[in-house]
Structure 1
Amino acid sequence: MSLAPRAVLVHRTTEYEELVARHGTHGQAAFFLSSRGRDIEEVAERHRRTRRALAEVAAAVPLTWRQSRVERSDLDRFLFAPEDVVVVVGHDGLVANVAKYLTGQPVVGVDADPGRNPGVLVRHRPADARRLLPASLSTSTGTTELTMVEAVADDTQRLLALNEIYVGAAGHQTARYRLGLDDGRGAAEAQASSGVLVGTGTGATGWVRSVWQERGGGGAVGDVRLPAPTEGRLVWFVREAWPSPTTGTSLVAGELEGGNRLTLDVESERLVAFGDGMESDAVELTWGQRVRLGVCAQRLHLVG
């Protein structure tokens, strides 16, 4: 007998909840903000909208389904099952945060605060959940398969991301490594930089795009083209490469597709790789290790 589907509602602690947790009470938080010319009511109203959206989505889960909730900070400890339908109630970035923990489960993105989010990944309103949840199990329901990026270390550590993966120093120190492409195009280059960014078409609306624009929209980096979210192609950029007698700057940007991989041989005491801003769930790398980055075979299945 197969298990009933489970709706997993993913949400994030609101700014209001964080303020009250930090200051102890609503009144103390209100005083803190008012002393700085801010009104807590604006933050409290966003909190109420988010909670109403979460409650509306929870009420829309079919009675024959199971239901669970998971907060963003607990994602790395939550076990998703094959029969899950993942409902992200929040902002676009929360979809990216959960993507790395999934293995093909359908994802429904619900915008908890319309007007403040671009709505690229959270495309639906809470009222749509009643229709979308049952439909998400049908093969005829339209889904968008979004390309993901992966980093695989030589000790089998593996990291996935929907937007981008950053490899660099944990703080503001210089990252030292040897950068190369495993397709045989030239020798690896020793570099000292602020780190390396490898991004997808979904990430091309955020951090990756900002780096690309700073470099003249691709013209200064060999006509690098930003990919579409569903395209099986990545772009990579070296941030602030530093030239010296022992380090170069000839490999600073490029594209990856198919089985092509960017390789980094670590020459620092400690580097980290993390995806989509989740620094708390990073892969740690030490001197002499190698990490390879490229297109991930797994994709995010976004409903609608």
Structure 2
Amino acid sequence: MSLAPRAVLVHRRTAYAQTVARHGTPGAADFFLRTRGRSLAELEEADEQQRRALAAVAAAVPPDWRTGTVERADLPRFLFAPEDVVVVVGQDGLVANVAKHLAGQVVVGIDPAPGRNAGVLVPHRAADTADLLRRSVSGATCELRTMVRARTDDGQELHALNEVFVGHRSHQTARYVLTAGERREEQASSGVVTGTGTGATGWLASLARGLGRGPGGAALPGPTDPALAWFVREAWPSRTTGADLTAGSLTGPPGADPLTVEVLSDELVVFGDGLEDDRLTLSRGQRMHLDVSPRRLALLR
């Protein structure tokens, strides 16, 4: 007998909850904000929107399904099962936060505040949850978004939906040898960013514009293209370092022609999608390989 599906609701603490926790009470938080020309009421409204959305989503889960709830901060410790349907209630970035912990589970993105969020990865409304959950287990077509993988020479891996950063912990000078295909260069820079088509609308787009790429320049990959783009941040030439190998693309199946970083600093860190606390640490002499991930985000449309 197969297990019933489990709907896992993913959310994050709202700005209201974080602000009240920081100041101790709602009154103290409101006083602090008012002295700076703001009001706690605007944060409270968004908090209430999310509460209503979470309640509507929970109520829409079929009675014969199992349910689970996980907050963003607990994602690294949460075990997702193969039969889970992951319902993300929040902003687009929360989908990226959860993607690295999945292995093909269907993701349903719910926007709790339509009009406030971009809604690219959370295109649905809470009122549509019941229908979306039925579709998620009935063979509905999902949009399969490419992810990026970072692999160390000692077997550690990190996957990300938007981009992976390799560099110094404090974003100061990182020293390394970069290898892309037949080209190899020792560099000193503020880090290397490798991203997907999903990330091409964020940090990757900013880096592309800075190097004269992006709109009007070299095309970045699309969200479902099995390709990545990479950029070196602020490389500078010296007697021992170069600044010619600063951008490129990676295509092909996982493991094919990766971008390789050989560490020359005492320590570099690797993190994905802006989550610096969930990182890998590299020491001098280690190698990091960046390529298309074998995982893909299965986003229900």
Q: Does TM-score exceed 0.5, indicating one fold?
A: yes
1:232 paired to 2:226: yes
Number of the residue aligned with 2:199: 203
1:147 paired to 2:141: no
Match of 2:212 among 202, 211, 216: 216
Give 1:1-304 correspondences, 5 Å limit. 1-139=1-139, 141-181=140-180, 183=181, 185-186=182-183, 188-218=184-214, 224-258=218-252, 259-304=256-301
Q: CA deviation at 1:142?
A: 2.1
Q: Is the 8 A contact 1:11 1:70 kept in 2?
A: yes
Alignment-mate amino acid for residue 289 of structure 2: R
Q: Is the 8 A contact 1:270 1:287 kept in 2?
A: yes
Q: CA deviation at 1:49?
A: 0.3
Q: Is the 8 A contact 1:165 1:197 kept in 2?
A: yes
Alignment-mate amino acid for residue 9 of structure 2: L
Q: Is the 8 A contact 1:256 1:295 kept in 2?
A: yes
Q: Secondary structure at the match of 2:45?
A: helix
CA distance in 1, matches of 2:138, 2:92: 24
Query: Please, which runs of 5 or more residues in structure 2 have no aligned partner?
Result: none
Q: Is the 8 A contact 1:189 1:247 kept in 2?
A: yes
Q: Secondary structure at the match of 2:277?
A: helix
Write the deviation string for residues 128-178 of structure 1: whole angstroms up to 9, x where unpaired: 101001210111x12100000000000101000000000001103201100
CA distance in 1, matches of 2:210, 2:100: 28
CA distance in 1, matches of 2:95, 2:175: 32
Q: Is the 8 A contact 2:205 2:214 kept in 1?
A: no
Q: CA deviation at 1:2?
A: 1.3
Q: CA deviation at 1:116?
A: 1.2
Q: Is the 8 A contact 2:171 2:191 kept in 1?
A: no
CA 1:147–1:219 in structure 2 vs 1: closer, same or farther (change >3 Å)?
A: closer
Q: Is the 8 A contact 2:149 2:158 kept in 1?
A: yes
Q: Is the 8 A contact 2:261 2:287 kept in 1?
A: yes
Q: Secondary structure at the match of 1:45?
A: helix
CA distance in 2, matches of 1:127, 1:170: 43
CA distance in 1, matches of 2:268, 2:127: 44
CA 1:61–1:30 in structure 2 vs 1: closer, same or farther (change >3 Å)?
A: same
Alignment-mate amino acid for residue 148 of structure 1: M
Comparing 94-103 with 211-220, which one deviates more in the overlay?
211-220
Write the deviation string for residues 244-295 of structure 1: whole angstroms up to 9, x where unpaired: 0000011000000011210000001110110001111101100000000011
CA distance in 1, matches of 2:218, 2:177: 21
Q: Secondary structure at the match of 2:46?
A: helix
Q: Is the 8 A contact 1:224 1:253 kept in 2?
A: no
Q: Secondary structure at the match of 1:120?
A: coil
Alignment-mate amino acid for residue 71 of structure 1: E
Q: CA deviation at 1:39?
A: 1.0
Q: TM-score, normalised by structure 1?
A: 0.96
Q: Is the 8 A contact 2:165 2:272 kept in 1?
A: yes
CA distance in 2, matches of 1:161, 1:77: 17
CA distance in 2, matches of 1:266, 1:205: 29
Q: CA deviation at 1:219?
A: 9.2
Alignment-mate amino acid for residue 229 of structure 1: P
Q: Is the 8 A contact 1:8 1:87 kept in 2?
A: yes
CA distance in 1, matches of 2:43, 2:104: 35
Alignment-mate amino acid for residue 99 of structure 1: A
CA distance in 1, matches of 2:214, 2:40: 43
Query: Please, which runs of 5 or more residues in structure 1 have no aligned partner?
Result: none
Count of aligned residue pairs for this structure pair? 298
Alignment-mate amino acid for residue 215 of structure 1: L
